[in-house]
Amino acid sequence: MTVVALVPAAGQGTRLGLNRPKAFVTLQGRSLLERAVDGLFASGAVDEVVVMVPADLVDDARALVPRARVVVGGAERTDSVRAGLAAAGDADLVLVHDAARPLTPGPMIHRVVAALREGASAVIPVLPVADTIKRVDAGGAVAATVDRADLRAVQTPQGFTAQALRAAYDAAPNESATDDAGLVERAGGTVATVTGDPLAMKITTAFDLRIAEVLAQEHK
Ligand code: C5P
């Protein structure tokens, strides 16, 4: 079965506060994009990688990740994933992985692919939530305390049969979602979970980047 990983890297990374798209920011000398793509290949669980980047950075991306296929992403993350899916031709299994998770360990990528090979049509890596989570109203007052035991923080790569992911995207042509499994859920599909890893943390803010710098030094 051919496993193709899509790496959406077309975001502007506004919340990071640097002057370039997040995937092209470097962590200990290597861009998040290179780290994410190299990590997927190094896992041994992935046959091909398709990267989606802003139109003006296609050539830069090709130079950074020569083993990957590079295509132009879209305005929203879902548009970028759509563009990647269109380029994922003969995939049987599709992983969708954020360039913003450059330290994702190979064994976690394996767990996702193994769950698909064992028959899941959609699978996400998750971790328990450490903080207590509350729902607030529009004015900021607490409306409810959510039972933490039932909550999980979701990471990537998320894995799908190509058929399930294409069907979910076809069923929601104009919708955007913060994660791809959300579209599968909306289409009525079952999403399985495997254990995530703290190293698969997502870099969103300058604070996250500082934490990742320390971790990257420890996990060269
Ligand atoms: O903005 P956020 O951190 O949620 O983005 C997650 C991932 O999706 C990043 O790797 C980003 O580059 C990618 N993305 C994309 N196309 C967009 C927006 C985000 O490929 N239009």
**What domains, with CATH codes, occur in the chain?**
3-126+152-219 (3.90.550.10)
Find the length of the chain.
220
**Whole-angstrom distance, CA of residue 81 vs CA of residue 9:** 10
When pLDDT is cut at 50, 70 and 90, the band that residue 178 belongs to is confident
Phi, psi of 15 (to 5 degrees): -70, -15
Joined tokens for residue 7: 């790496």
Say yes or no: CB of residue 10 within 6 Å of ligand 1: yes
**Whole-angstrom distance, CA of residue 97 vs CA of residue 103:** 12
What is the best residue among 22, 65, 77 to mutate for testing ligand 1's pocket, by most ligand atoms within 8 Å of CB? Answer: 77
Q: What is the mean pLDDT of residues 111-120?
A: 98
Let me know: does 205 contact 16? Beta carbons within 8 Å: yes
pLDDT digits (tens, 9 = 90+) for 185-209: 999 999 999 999 999 999 999 999 9
Say yes or no: CB of residue 35 within 6 Å of ligand 1: no
Residue 177 confidence (pLDDT): 82
Q: Is the pLDDT of residue 14 over 80?
A: no
Number of H helices, E strands in the chain: 7, 12
Residue 71 confidence (pLDDT): 98
CB atoms within 10 A of CB 43: 21
What is the pTM (predicted TM-score) of this model? 0.95
Let me know: does 43 contact 14? Beta carbons within 8 Å: no
What is the rounded average pLDDT for all residues in the chain?
95
Q: Is the pLDDT of residue 176 over 90?
A: no
Say yes or no: CB of residue 180 within 6 Å of ligand 1: no
Return the DSSP state at 217. Answer: H
Q: Residues of 162-189 as b/e, b for ≥16 C-beta within 10 angstroms?
A: bebbbbbbeebeeeebebbbbbbeebeb
Residue 20 confidence (pLDDT): 85
Q: Is the pLDDT of residue 219 over 90?
A: no
pLDDT digits (tens, 9 = 90+) for 144-159: 999 999 999 999 999 9
Let me know: does 161 contact 168? Beta carbons within 8 Å: no
Say yes or no: CB of residue 8 within 6 Å of ligand 1: yes
**String of DSSP letters for 22-78:** GGGSEETTEEHHHHHHHHHHHHT--SEEEEEE-GGGHHHHHHH-TTSEEEE--SSHH
What is the best residue among 15, 16, 98 to mutate for testing ligand 1's pocket, by most ligand atoms within 8 Å of CB? Answer: 98
